[in-house]
Amino acid sequence: MSIIQDKVVIITGVSSGIGEATAKELASKGAKLVMAARREERLASLQEEIQSSGGQAIYKVTDVTSHDQMEGLADYALKEFGKIDVMINNAGVMPLSPVHEGKINEWDTMVDVNIKGVLYGIAAVLPAMRERTEGHIINVSSVAGHLVFPTSSVYSGTKFAVRAITEGLRQEEAKNNIRTTIISPGSVATELTDHISDAELKASIKQQSEIAIDPISIARAIAFAIEQPSDVAINELVIRPTIQEL
């Protein structure tokens, strides 16, 4: 039997890309999924697909930038399944732009989703995990959390923050048997580039993303981290297309 069998897993940003692929991968291994995103039609469709394949999945429409909604998501998981084994903070946005353009609204959105969303997810599940002295928090960063390039200043800042927060959490909660994992994808075929408002920059980034790998590759890496015995923590994984230089 898979170690993932019957684990209760919350996943944010599940309506597309890495979140959707991860939901399908973990469901195929017997996880009990609590799926979160803003687009209910996508959530309902994914739930139907998973259930028709014999998997278990429930969902709750959730905006990760709302502390109350993230608390409600954790409460829903506990009410329906009685525990939370894994929290995957996957939701993220990437509206790249040069700093001089001063796209304040886009900066605010990145901070709210990419940093606060992760923090709210951690805060929502940590009390229950500490009570059980067991749990696993997986936060999705990026290769942009390891390096900076023109137009990525703010986005990279948020992803560096995710890595810092996760490493701090690891040190604080190791004694409570709570594992942490940072997932840093390179170019992956997702909707992330759709958030770029500058048409020329978007076209350039999309052209570079021709090398992008399928989200299932990231989903398998996440499953690998979860599948380890409880005394083993995979703390960080960087997954790029083989030919990606950055």
The Cα 15–Cα 213 span in angstroms is 18
Q: For residues 107 and 97, is the Cβ–Cβ distance under 8 A?
A: no
Look at residue 11 and give its three-state secondary structure. Answer: strand
Looking at residue 89, its amino acid is N
Q: For residues 127 and 74, is the Cβ–Cβ distance under 8 A?
A: no
Report which of 241, 136, 232 is spatially closest to residue 182, judged by C-alpha positions: 136
The 10 Å Cβ neighbour count of residue 92 is 29
Catalytic residues: 155
Looking at residue 222, its amino acid is I
Report which of 109, 101, 83, 114 is spatially closest to residue 12, judged by C-alpha positions: 114
In this structure, are strands 178-185 and 236-239 parallel, antiparallel, or unpaired?
A: parallel
The Cα 156–Cα 95 span in angstroms is 11
In sequence order, the 6+-apart residues with CB closer than 8 A to the CB of 164 are: none
